[in-house]
Structure 1
Amino acid sequence: MKKAFLVIIISSLISVSFAQKIKQSFVSTDIDNFWIAYDEIISTKDSIKQYSLLKELYLNKGTQGLKSLIEVRNYTDKDFVDAINKYPKFWNSIRLNTLNAKSLYPEINSNIQKLKKAYPELKPSTIYFTIGAFRTGGTTHGYKVLIGSEVSLADKTTIIDELPIWRQPFYKTQNPINEIALLCTHEYIHTQQKEIVHNLISMCLYEGVAEFISCKVTDKKSDAPAIEFGKANQKIVIDKFVSDLFIMTNNYSWLWGENLNDLKVRDLGYYIGYEICERYYNLSKDKTKAIKELIELDYTNEKEIERIVNITKLLPKTLEELNYDYEKQRPTVIQMTPFENGSQVVKSGLTKITIIFSEPLVTYITGVDFGPLGQEYFPKIKPERVFGEDGKSWTFEADLKPNQHYQILISNNFRKENGVRLKPYLIDFKTAD
């Protein structure tokens, strides 16, 4: 009886151990194919032949990972051929690192197993090592992790002086190959997350979840300079973030671009998201539940986003209060001529319509759109549209037909110098017979 009991216990432990493992798949054949194509391409100056070789030896033999990378980063054949021809020293210096990609598998696999242990619901994703044309070091497509090896397998010996000046700082400030296991873990988490909503707080959370949890489960420090900078300069970063939070224009100065915000540090949105997730995790009594909640966060659920952000007290006020403050700053339409909005007896014919704003707006950005009733209710508007010298009025000319119902939406594309956007204004009227 005792032996049988021990067998049951051992069997259970084996089952639990197996359940906590994930069979990880890696694919790096695109790297081998790239270098075969590369050698042939640089052996000829015939551009037509170069394109043919690229297709025959690399693109047509591409894995599902390469096909996905091309799709999500909008690569063209020209992008690849140009990159190959322009940067010979770079390619020669990174070649060995890429060909040794398989040596990186054990550390990456170890990280993924740690992630599985922390988040048992983890679904398997294949990790593809590919070579692109500098638009990403790592991204995802469905349950595929896509590594751009020309970015993520560089090290301090990689020669970058041929690259554009704006691209060089990444290679100078980071040593990507040393962080490849953490990057793969970060991207793996993205394959588990729900679809992002493209507002600044959700974008920051989306990246922060992946960065914080990948660091937490592997017990490794993030290599993102933005996180170290943010922690050391929290007040100025938060103040700037709050000023940009709702204006939309500056989202990509915080994430996913070479744009630098006023603080001259790229990707500070990673810090915002990381800090929120770290605080939320630390405040949670059930750490496993916190990880699950963060990974499975529904970005369309505004109440849940607000709950998580507000509980951390990273921002000076709740999101609702910050939005209220922003709404008070927004300019409005205070008047229009030559008729009142809502009029039912507007005279037909060519009509100059002037919109009066509550305060000066920048004069190089405008926006008109269809109203809720759609294009059929939108008048023909002449292309000449003129701002008043003080930026407080804007005039356009519309061709109004008799006995018609019209709608014109003055959109929130209008804005103040600081980026705060106009409250949209719907013009709705009818013309007389």
Structure 2
Amino acid sequence: TELAQLPTATGAVLARYFNTEPLAHVVPRYVHEYVHTQLRGYGASVLGQALHEGTCDFMTELVTGQAGPFAYLAYGRRHEAALKERFKTEMFIPIFLSRPAEQTPADLHHAADLGYYLGYAVCKAYYAQAVNKRQAVRDLLTLDYADDRAVAELLEKSQYYPDEPVRQLRAAFDNRPPDATRVRPFALAPQPLDPALTELTVDFPQPVSPYATVRPGPGGPETWPGVGALRFSNDNKSVTFAVGLRPAREYEFIVAEGGSRSLLDYPNKSYLLKFSTRSLSE
């Protein structure tokens, strides 16, 4: 099939791949894939999956004695400082919320799989600081990549971020402010609402991709406001929720993390919407 006959994005993905001359680098590709068969678990977070792939690249380098011929490794070395800084803000994102379209841009010069490079860099740093190199290899091959605590401990030991403990990086991620700027008809600290209200609208500071999920808050079904159909504004800077309210009730629900995303594909932080309704006598 001619690439020109394929959808633009698909053709671009394959063109980038063929431009790497894959048949000229069969051995490192086979070693990389073989190492996958020896590893435990896929990453549950961006960090875990980056290490899962990075271990394969680092082991390939140890086995072949050469740096891998993959485009993301060359790109990563040239741009490591910027990628390393960005990785701090993304490594704790659950993998199922991470950039699903990383491979798909139609730009023939798009650099994909940069998480592989960062995982490789962390693994290499871990190996470099280890006194017992054989044990370091064993650690990488036996790590449970689905265990967020275990992968965080390995990152800590690697000293890849020598001046920033992992707990500090995690705290910065967890404490980032909510992405919503306003919830209409009330602010984020609302007063009792008219129970006749049928809609709530969440405003964002920048356009978000048109997806959203909601789930019950800590109070469970008793405090669920019967959230129904969702609709986004034409400029994608707000989402409106249909609600069914009753008088003199406490309500709450969560706009779930990753349910709405900026157009940069970064999942917005989850936040709890909590409010009450007036009694009929008010």
**Structure 1 gap segments, 5+ residues each:** 1-86, 91-159
Superposition deviation, residue 422 in structure 1: 3.2
Secondary structure of 1:330's partner? coil
Q: 1:197 to 1:432 in 2, by over 3 A?
A: farther
Task: Note if contact 2:200-2:240 (Cα within 8 Å) is conserved in structure 1.
Answer: yes
1:251 matched to which residue of 2?
A: 99
Task: Note if contact 2:126-2:154 (Cα within 8 Å) is conserved in structure 1.
Answer: yes
1:326 matched to which residue of 2?
A: 173
Task: Note if contact 1:380-1:398 (Cα within 8 Å) is conserved in structure 2.
Answer: yes
Superposition deviation, residue 202 in structure 1: 1.0
Instruction: Say which is worse superposed, 316-325 or 368-377, in terms of deviation.
Output: 368-377
- The question of 1:298 aligning with 2:141 is answered no
Task: Note if contact 2:207-2:236 (Cα within 8 Å) is conserved in structure 1.
Answer: no
2:269 matched to which residue of 1?
A: 422
Q: 1:365 to 1:258 in 2, by over 3 A?
A: closer
1:399 matched to which residue of 2?
A: 244
Counterparts of 1:173 and 1:199, CA distance in 2: 28
Superposition deviation, residue 238 in structure 1: 1.9
Secondary structure of 2:243's partner? strand
Higher helix share: 1
Counterparts of 1:340 and 1:239, CA distance in 2: 31
CA deviations 1:295-326 (Å, max 9, x no partner) are 11122433332232233333463333233333
**Structure 2 gap segments, 5+ residues each:** none
In structure 1, which of residues 410, 414, 418 is the aligned counterpart of residue 255 of structure 2?
A: 410
Letter in 2 for 1:424: Y
Superposition deviation, residue 193 in structure 1: 1.4
CA deviations 1:135-159 (Å, max 9, x no partner) are xxxxxxxxxxxxxxxxxxxxxxxxx
2:200 matched to which residue of 1?
A: 353
Aligned residues: 268
Question: What TM-score does the superposition give when structure 1 sets the normalisation length?
Answer: 0.51
Secondary structure of 1:251's partner? coil
In structure 2, which of residues 32, 39, 43 is the aligned counterpart of residue 193 of structure 1?
A: 39
Superposition deviation, residue 212 in structure 1: 0.9
Secondary structure of 2:42's partner? coil
In structure 1, which of residues 271, 282, 300 is the aligned counterpart of residue 117 of structure 2?
A: 271
Q: 1:299 to 1:165 in 2, by over 3 A?
A: closer
Identity %: 20
1:170 matched to which residue of 2?
A: 17
Q: 1:259 to 1:338 in 2, by over 3 A?
A: closer
Instruction: Determine which structure has greater relative contact order: mean sequence separation of CA pairs < 8 Å that are 6+ residues apart, divided by chain length.
Output: 2
Alignment map for 1:18-417 (pairs within 5 Å): 87=1, 165-166=11-12, 167-174=14-21, 176-246=22-92, 250-252=98-100, 257-259=103-105, 264-315=110-161, 317-331=164-178, 337=185, 348-355=195-202, 360-362=205-207, 364-365=209-210, 367-371=212-216, 372=218, 378-383=224-229, 385=231, 391=237, 395-401=240-246, 406-412=251-257, 413-415=259-261
Superposition deviation, residue 394 in structure 1: 5.4
Secondary structure of 2:68's partner? coil
Task: Note if contact 2:226-2:243 (Cα within 8 Å) is conserved in structure 1.
Answer: yes
